[in-house]
């Protein structure tokens, strides 16, 4: 071989080797996802043995788990790298619709008008008030931006002003675990008192003389369980325990009646309530039990005149309103006031001097029932959209004819109204602006009904942009939750416009496990009926496909927390139905979590999912738990999000799930995990920071649809 030939051969070999090395390097950097190590862990219950190779991920702060989470985050960024510019533009687009300098609707309490405002470029609100008139000088109760300076996370969990209007109690979380420290601030000169209360829920209730406050602490499982009395000017170590909830299924909460005359201590589980009360003017008195807890009986109370009014499910599946004299609180003294109705759920009530307002849900939709105390003619506030959200706003004033409520729909931005219950006139106080403009008539909302496998009719709320809708051709995102009796109403989202304006159809499946169609709708989607939640959701997806609301090849699903459980279950059961899925802080390792009572919230969840120490519940939960049912099959593209400091769904649940999916799935679809390392269950704090997570989710969807603008 001559020199030229040798040179060319060597050059060719070098180029080939360089190409191979470059390709290998690219694969390592861009293509190969992290592989989690396996350490087999045998879990045995009821003579059933499960092998969990990723159980080690429960070791919070272990260098290996931190390394693995960071590798997953890097892989997510690499996988979405082609969408980097789109993601940035999406973030700016989402942010650009929000009015940066904005003001909430003021409410009046004890002679002051309270409101919050946002300043241009700031992440957090400034809480303010004005004395006597909106023309008075502004006083700042707390500038959250200043409090958040230098912190990676900030949440104001409570703001309560003393009865004499002089002192504000601030409950603040700087980590994202929903454990708050309470400090006290003189509002006149903005100085802080020496009092500080740690490990609290963030809220206080003031005694009538402002010399004592009442607050709650959490146990190791982050369950609010103790109520303390703190005397202002003393150290927290001197605080007196006035009540301890010893049943781990129950959480505590504290409040005050609208009349300001009584302080209430609630003990609540998923199915049972017990209330204690004492006069706000007698802070050193012993709390009195209103009605001892009776399994399955829920109630809440309000004080009006010489009576207590009780909202309860006692002998009333859809709840009723009862009343009893102030000194006769036992259940045998309660008498019916508003009877229960089989087709109407009585959700809540609000007391005014001359009016009673009932929040009712009928056929899945809210209406307000206005009843004068003088027994003159009652009337309703109802709405015309086919599907919408409406709820009573904060109404602290007692002696007023005005009832404030909030309304929005899939096409109508959030709107605040004052309704004069005497004249029946409605005043629009504020409709939140969509910067850049929004024309509701450009979009169409609908409500349709899907038939479940057992024949139940499941409502589905739908919205799309009229000019971009083509039957059978649009990508569709179906959202669901279906747990704890929470009703997911059809609310407006300016962020969602970024999907609608790119041709997506958005839908909400109002599946069983929520309370949209009454208390029975909830009962039929919990405990040993939980699988109805999943089959309902699948039925909704199928219905939307058959009716042409979606391109059959471009249906996506989304849910968070217990809604993430829903996503995990339906992609196990019907992976072929979905092109992609978004599971946000998903509760997916249900069986292992429910067997570990040291994990926050576990014991309180037994009345929602069942206690797997009972074999019947163990077998049933195991049959649907997403982590336990990962199998060797094709799965849709999947984006999973998590919060490292999440106190409700521990970070290891989504992390383990992703690792197991990677090891078992038989497809090459995208599977990415993003863990917010400085946040908890609610994601990143801050007004705009959270939009980065939305932009991440949307860029994932648009990548799947090959939409690059």
**Active site members:** 561, 646, 681
According to DSSP, the β-strands at 580-584 and 637-643 are parallel
Bridge partners of 426? Answer: 419
- Separation in Å, CA 535 to CA 452, 559, 620, 638: 7, 15, 15, 20
Are 487 and 611 in contact, with CB atoms under 8 Å apart? no
CA 281 vs. chain centroid, Å, equals 35
Handedness of CA 392, 395, 399, 402 (dihedral sign): negative
DSSP assignments along 405-422, one per residue: EEEEESSS--EEEEEETT
Are 644 and 584 in contact, with CB atoms under 8 Å apart? no
Rounded Cα distance, 40 and 50, in Å: 10
Are 389 and 422 in contact, with CB atoms under 8 Å apart? no
CA 587 vs. chain centroid, Å, equals 13
Taking each helix axis from N to C end, the angle separating 652-664 and 63-79, rounded to the nearest 10 degrees, works out to 60
N-terminal to C-terminal alpha carbon distance within the chain: 56
Rounded Cα distance, 626 and 615, in Å: 19
Which tokens in the block code for residue 403?
């009832």
Residues 6+ apart with CB under 8 A from 51: 40, 41, 42, 43
Rounded Cα distance, 526 and 222, in Å: 23
Longest dimension (CA), the chain: 113
Bridge partners of 48? Answer: 45
Closest alpha carbon to 532 in 519, 518, 514: 514
Are 296 and 287 in contact, with CB atoms under 8 Å apart? no
CB-side exposure of 378: number of CA atoms within 13 Å? Answer: 12
Query: 3-state class of 62 per DSSP?
Result: coil
Q: Which residue is it, tokens 């009843």?
A: 371
Rounded Cα distance, 152 and 166, in Å: 31
Report which DSSP code applies to 292: -
Rg (CA), the chain: 27
Query: 3-state class of 176 per DSSP?
Result: coil
Closest alpha carbon to 707 in 443, 504, 545, 464: 504
Closest alpha carbon to 324 in 333, 316, 332: 333
């Amino acid at each position: 071989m001559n020199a030229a030939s040798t040179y060319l051969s060597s050059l060719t070999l070098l180029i080939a080797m360089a190409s191979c090395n470059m390709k290998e390097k690219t694969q390592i950097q861009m293509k190969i996802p992290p592989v989690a190590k396996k350490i087999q862990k045998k879990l045995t219950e009821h003579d059933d043995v499960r092998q969990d190779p990723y159980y080690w991920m429960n070791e919070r702060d272990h260098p290996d788990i931190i390394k693995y989470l960071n590798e997953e985050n890097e892989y997510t960024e690499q996988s979405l790298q082609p969408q980097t510019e789109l993601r940035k533009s999406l973030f700016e687009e989402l942010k650009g619709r929000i009015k940066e300098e904005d003001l909430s609707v003021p409410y009046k309490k004890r002679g002051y008008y309270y409101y919050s405002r946002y300043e241009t470029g700031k992440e957090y609100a400034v809480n303010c008030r004005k004395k006597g008139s909106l023309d008075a000088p502004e006083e700042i109760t707390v500038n959250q931006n200043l409090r958040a300076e230098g912190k990676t996370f900030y949440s104001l969990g409570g703001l309560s002003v003393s009865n004499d209007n002089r002192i504000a109690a601030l409950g603040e979380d700087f980590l994202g675990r929903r454990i708050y420290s309470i400090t006290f601030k003189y509002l006149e000169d903005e100085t802080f008192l020496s009092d500080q209360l740690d490990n609290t829920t963030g809220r206080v209730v003031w005694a009538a003389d402002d010399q004592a406050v009442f607050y709650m602490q959490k146990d190791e499982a982050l369950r609010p369980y103790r109520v303390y009395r703190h005397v202002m000017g003393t150290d927290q170590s001197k605080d007196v325990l006035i009540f301890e909830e010893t049943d781990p299924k129950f959480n505590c909460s504290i409040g005050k009646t609208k009349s300001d005359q009584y302080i209430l201590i609630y003990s609540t589980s998923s199915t049972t309530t017990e209330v204690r009360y004492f006069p706000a003017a007698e802070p050193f008195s012993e709390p009195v039990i209103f009605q001892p807890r009776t399994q399955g009986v829920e109630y809440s109370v309000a004080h009006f005149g010489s009576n207590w009014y009780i909202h309860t499910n006692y002998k009333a599946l859809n709840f009723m309103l009862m009343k009893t004299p102030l000194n006769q609180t036992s259940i045998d003294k309660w008498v019916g006031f508003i009877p229960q109705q089989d087709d109407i759920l009585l959700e809540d009530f609000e007391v005014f001097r001359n009016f009673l307002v009932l929040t009712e849900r009928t056929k899945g939709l809210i209406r307000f029932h206005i009843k004068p105390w003088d027994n003159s003619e009652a009337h309703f506030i109802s709405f015309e959209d086919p599907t919408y959200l409406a709820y009573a706003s904060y109404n602290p004033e007692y002696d007023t004819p005005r009832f404030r409520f909030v309304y929005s729909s899939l096409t109508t931005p959030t709107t605040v109204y004052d309704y004069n219950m005497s004249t029946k006139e409605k005043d629009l106080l504020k409709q939140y602006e969509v910067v850049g403009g929004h024309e509701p008539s450009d979009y169409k909302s609908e409500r349709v009904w899907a038939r479940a496998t057992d024949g139940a009719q499941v409502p589905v709320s739908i919205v799309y942009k009229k000019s971009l809708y083509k039957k059978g051709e649009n990508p569709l995102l179906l959202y669901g939750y279906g747990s704890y009796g929470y009703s997911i109403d059809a609310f407006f989202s300016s962020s969602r416009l970024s999907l609608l304006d790119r041709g997506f159809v958005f839908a909400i499946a109002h599946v069983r496990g929520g309370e949209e169609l009454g208390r029975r709708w909830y009962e039929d989607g919990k405990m040993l009926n939980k699988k109805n939640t999943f089959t309902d959701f699948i039925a909704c997806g199928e219905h939307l496909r058959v009716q042409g609301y979606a391109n059959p090849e471009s249906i996506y699903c989304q849910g968070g927390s217990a809604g993430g459980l829903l996503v995990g279950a339906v992609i196990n059961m019907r992976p072929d139905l979905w092109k992609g899925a978004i599971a946000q802080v998903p509760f997916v390792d249900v069986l292992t979590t429910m067997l570990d009572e040291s994990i926050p919230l576990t014991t309180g969840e037994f009345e929602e999912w069942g206690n797997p120490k009972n074999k019947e519940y163990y077998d049933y939960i195991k049959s649907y738990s997403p982590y336990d049912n990962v199998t060797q099959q094709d799965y849709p593209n999947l984006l999973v999000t998590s919060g490292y400091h999440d106190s409700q769904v521990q970070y290891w649940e989504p992390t383990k799930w992703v690792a197991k999916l990677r090891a078992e799935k038989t497809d090459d679809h995208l599977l990415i995990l993003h863990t917010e390392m400085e946040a908890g269950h609610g994601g990143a704090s801050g007004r705009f920071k959270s939009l980065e997570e939305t932009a991440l989710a949307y860029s994932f969807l648009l990548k799947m649809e090959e939409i690059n603008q």
